[in-house]
Amino acid sequence: MAGPVRLTPSLREKVWGKTRLAPWFPDSPTPIGEVWYLAERDLPLLVKLLFTREKLSVQVHPGDGEDGPRGKTEMWHILEAEPGAAIALGFRQPLSRRQLLEATRAGVVESLLNWMPVKAGETYFTPAHTVHAIGAGIVLCEIQQNSDVTYRLWDYGRPREMHVEKAVAIADLSVHPGAMPPGEAVRSKHFVTELAALSTGAEIGIEPRACQLWIVLDGQGTIGGLAFRQGEVWLLPEDGPTAIAARTEGRFLRTYVPDSSGAG
């Protein structure tokens, strides 16, 4: 890899998605729910933008080795939230697996979830086994292990496959801590994610990391001499430093795979 690579956005139509995608992409005639940023090779991390017009399913993801070698730990950074928009992470109070199973079969599992109002700029960490749902009226950036294994508990009557027994068996039944403290990095064995900012005219050198991705939230400038803009995701080379220069004030999410020692 000789230099930075701009990943290719792949727009995915979803019944719960939006047609208004600005300012990240041109508006769409069909509802787009997810944008996946893809490389020519398989990466251990996957970045998505999610655009929600309706609630997403109540679901949970397995951990490593539970349904294939790679599980799905993820995080969300809220980019836009309409008044009253909310996400669900974990439960309002601890419960038993029997209670979760009975509530799911009765169609009332949504009432047990801890729904949290969200606003732009907040970050939420969602480890594997966390029961979760994303509400309507939200645009968020999702960073996750590159896996799409999902067990659905509830989907509001949509005609999609449910995985109730699998989901109940692995669900974390505790209370989720909520949003990360403002400005605090997300650190896990799968990825580290930090907010970064550059003032107009600033230039910095970025040391190489494994699978280091820079997600452009705002601004314009250059990465390794190549022009970047809002809504792009760049993969930086692992064999040397990369210069990032801001032509206008820039905000980024920087994510990478930590080394095996756990050092950030």
Mean of pLDDT values over 198-225: 97
List 78's β-bridge partners, or say none: 140
| All domains of the chain in start order, with CATH | 55-180 (2.60.120.10), 187-257 (2.60.120.10)
Q: Is the pLDDT of residue 144 over 90?
A: yes
Average pLDDT for the chain: 95
Q: Is the Cα torsion angle 157, 57, 48, 217 positive or negative in sign?
A: positive
Task: Inform me whether the pLDDT recorded for 63 exceeds 60.
Answer: yes
Note the pLDDT of residue 260. 74
13-20 average pLDDT score: 96
Structure-block tokens of residue 181:
């403290």
pLDDT at 212 over 70: yes
- Of the pLDDT bands very low, low, confident and very high (cuts 50, 70, 90), residue 263 is very low
Could you give the C-alpha distances from 58 to 26, 111, 138, 196, 262, in angstroms and in order? Answer: 29, 11, 16, 32, 31
Confidence of residue 262 (pLDDT cuts 50, 70, 90): very low
Stated as kind and residue range, the H or E segment containing 32 is strand 32-38
Greater pLDDT, 46 or 263 = 46
Beta-carbon contacts of residue 165 (< 8 Å; ≥ 6 apart): 101
Residues 110-133: tens digit of each pLDDT: 999 999 999 999 999 999 999 999
Q: What is the mean pLDDT of residues 53-62?
A: 97
- In this predicted structure, what is the pLDDT of residue 121? 97
Separation between Cα atoms, residue 170 and residue 61, nearest integer Å: 8
Tell me, what's the pLDDT at 2?
A: 80
pLDDT for res 150: 96
- Residues making up the chain, counted from first to last: 264
Distance, CA of 207 to CA of 43 (rounded, Å)? 19
pLDDT value at position 1? 62
pLDDT of residue 210: 97
Question: Phi and psi (nearest 5°) for 100?
Answer: -65, -45
* Mean pLDDT, rounded, for 243-248: 97
pTM, entire model: 0.95
